[in-house]
Amino acid sequence: MPANPAMQKAALLEAESDVHGLISKKTAELDGVAVTEVTFGVGAKWSNDLKEYAGTELCELPHVALVTAGTLAVRMLDGSYEEFSAGDVMMLPPGHDAWSVGDTACTFVEFSVGIDYYDA
């Protein structure tokens, strides 16, 4: 019988913030999985705050996340549009722009495996 994997724990509250314009993130690493809390401040937009840093026209990372506060608007390359608010689970394929809606910051927690061009 194979051995059970060890439990793991990481604390987002202890993670350092990585800030790009009005967008910030904190990442807690587990073995093979990154859990990242992302905050789009009021007025934040990926194409204004991260496009230059990423070096791509649109965000080319996929995202699987739970929105915990505020609302995030997303427009895909094909023009499709959706808004995700607190309590929504979202899956975004590569090729999108995103921005906070209204006068409340949008925060979401995403789970990912693999590359992240936001790493400094």
Closest CA to 15 of 39, 50, 40: 39
pLDDT of residue 116: 56
Q: How far is CA 5 from CA 31, 52, 90, 111, in A?
A: 10, 40, 28, 19
Question: For residue 116, how many other CB atoms are within 10 A of its CB?
Answer: 14
Q: Could you tell me if residue 117 is inside a domain?
A: no
| 4 has a pLDDT exceeding 70 | no
pLDDT digits (tens, 9 = 90+) for 54-107: 999 999 999 999 999 999 999 999 999 999 999 999 999 999 999 999 999 999
Question: Does the predicted TM-score (pTM) go above 0.75?
Answer: yes
More confident residue, 60 or 2: 60
Q: What distance in Å separates the CA atoms of residue 67 and residue 46, rounded to the nearest whole number? A: 16
CATH label of the domain that carries residue 79: 2.60.120.10
Question: For residue 89, how many other CB atoms are within 10 A of its CB?
Answer: 10
Query: In terms of residue numbers, what domain contains 46?
Result: 21-112
What is the number of structural domains in the chain?
1
pLDDT of residue 11: 92
Q: Could you tell me if residue 107 is inside a domain?
A: yes
pLDDT digits (tens, 9 = 90+) for 16-61: 999 999 999 999 999 888 999 999 999 999 999 999 999 999 999 9
